[in-house]
Structure 1
Amino acid sequence: MHVLLWRFLCKVKEVLNSGFVGGHWQLDARGYSIQAGYHWLQGPHPLVQWYKDVWDSWNIPKHSLVGWMISYHGLQNRDKLFHLQISDSSSCVNCAQAIETHEHLFGSCVYSLQIIAGIEHWLGMSLAGSNLNCTQMQKKVVRLALMATWYFIWNQRNECRLSLTLAAPKRVIMEIQSIVKARILQKLQNFMPNRDREWLLSLSIPI
């Protein structure tokens, strides 16, 4: 780790020094060298299909972080921990009916499916992104709800692993609804189309 950090810092110094001459940053065809160096350090960032779902401006940052980890299969689920010989079991903490992979925990776990179904019923829309007739605001709410749902499923999994108790799906659904409503009210502008206003009122969100 220390060797990699040292190499990275040396490369940063090399990039920055290459653009600094006589106490000034040199200009090139694209602008200041420091800007070019900054973009080089960032590296390429190709947009992926789930990018907007995860990093929408309405999403709660800590929910987006978990969503990003899920999208990259970066969470330390039991399947990973079992293969690393850290866990003595690979079964799902929430349902104990299958191996705890990302696909299972957020797609086919019976506990997770109850929560997802409850949120979809509340919204009157799918969390899977197949809502073709949504307004832009409705898409933002669905993304917000999706990230919140994933976050709470993962949070319940962690709490169950530590305390061996699992909250009822109905209670988790109510928690998700509450935090989604609060975030919507925080983000709302003074004006919105009647279609969006009527939809939010149907979700018991006072406008």
Structure 2
Amino acid sequence: MGLGRDMFIPKQSSWIVRKIIATREWFSTVAISVIPTLQLPIKEGKYSIKIAYGMMLPQYPKVNLKSLVILQGPIPRHQFIIWLALHQRLSTVDRLRKWGIQVQTDCVLCENVVIESHEHLFFDCGYSQHIWAAILQWVGLNRDIGYWHSEVEWLGKKVRSKRPWNVILGFLFTATVYHVCMERNNHRFNKQKKTFESLIRDIALQLHIVGQKHVRWALCLHRLNRFPRV
């Protein structure tokens, strides 16, 4: 079998063989242009294959999705919804219309004449913004609510520390996203509506119920011994 650039790869080749050939193709085309760079990873006077390999990998911007998805504490159904939200897989109106499903386009939560999209629902919508702001004030944080990506970026950095207050903040964020989604569904499909007070109290109660299982949360929960102000 030849070693030309267009060498034939049998269909029955294993996955690892295909990967090896693909790597060879990469070296024969792309790596040539970065050979001088590959000579830089020197550690203690010795060439480091590990560092060189890392330099050859595609460099993508870091995201904070993982820290929110694997956060310990949130209720499983909340974690499922936050996973969908982080990957923008929620069935918002703009996505439903792409699937050919005709529904009312206006946001049913804030009742403004604006197409319901993921970006609007979190947290351009006055309804969800009001809830998240009340939760943040409850835990003593005075923060201007940003759009979805800025809130995820901020929360992702917070929860990586695993400190009780930050883990609780992650719990409250996932609970807020879950309840906003459920309230949106009830508004749109069941014509049911909860007050701000009722929804925020549900989130606070869930925190205290789940918090009984986490000894490290005790001091924080003691400070949150009142309902959030709406």
Give the TM-score of the pair, scaled to structure 2.
0.60
% identical aligned pairs: 25
CA shift digits 1:122-157 (9 cap, x unpaired): 11135843687x871111100001000100000101
CA deviation after TM superposition for structure 1 residue 165, in Å: 2.6
1:119 maps to 2:135? yes
Q: Contact 1:77–1:100 (CA<8 Å) still a contact in 2?
A: yes
Q: Cα RMSD over matched residues?
A: 2.6
* Residue number in structure 2 paired with 1:201: 222
Paired with 1:59 and 1:163, the residues of 2 have a C-alpha distance of 26
* Residue number in structure 1 paired with 2:126: 110
1:74 maps to 2:89? yes
* Residue number in structure 2 paired with 1:150: 177
1:52 maps to 2:67? yes
Q: Which range moved further: 98-107 or 138-147?
A: 98-107
* Residue number in structure 1 paired with 2:105: 90
One-letter identity of the residue aligned with 2:185:
N
Paired with 1:124 and 1:178, the residues of 2 have a C-alpha distance of 18
CA deviation after TM superposition for structure 1 residue 114, in Å: 1.3
* Residue number in structure 1 paired with 2:166: 139
One-letter identity of the residue aligned with 2:225:
S
Paired with 1:88 and 1:173, the residues of 2 have a C-alpha distance of 28
Paired with 1:82 and 1:135, the residues of 2 have a C-alpha distance of 40
Q: Contact 2:176–2:203 (CA<8 Å) still a contact in 1?
A: yes
CA deviation after TM superposition for structure 1 residue 112, in Å: 0.7
Paired with 2:102 and 2:128, the residues of 1 have a C-alpha distance of 22
* Residue number in structure 2 paired with 1:182: 209
Q: Contact 2:183–2:193 (CA<8 Å) still a contact in 1?
A: yes
* Residue number in structure 2 paired with 1:169: 196
CA shift digits 1:56-89 (9 cap, x unpaired): 0111111011001001010111111123221233
Give the TM-score of the pair, scaled to structure 1.
0.66
Q: Contact 2:110–2:126 (CA<8 Å) still a contact in 1?
A: yes
* Residue number in structure 1 paired with 2:148: none
Q: Contact 1:79–1:91 (CA<8 Å) still a contact in 2?
A: no
Q: How many residues align?
A: 155
CA deviation after TM superposition for structure 1 residue 48, in Å: 3.7
Q: Contact 2:208–2:221 (CA<8 Å) still a contact in 1?
A: no
SS of the counterpart of 1:147? helix
Q: Contact 1:115–1:170 (CA<8 Å) still a contact in 2?
A: no
User: What are structure 2's unaligned runs of at least 5 residues?
Assistant: 1-13, 16-59, 146-150
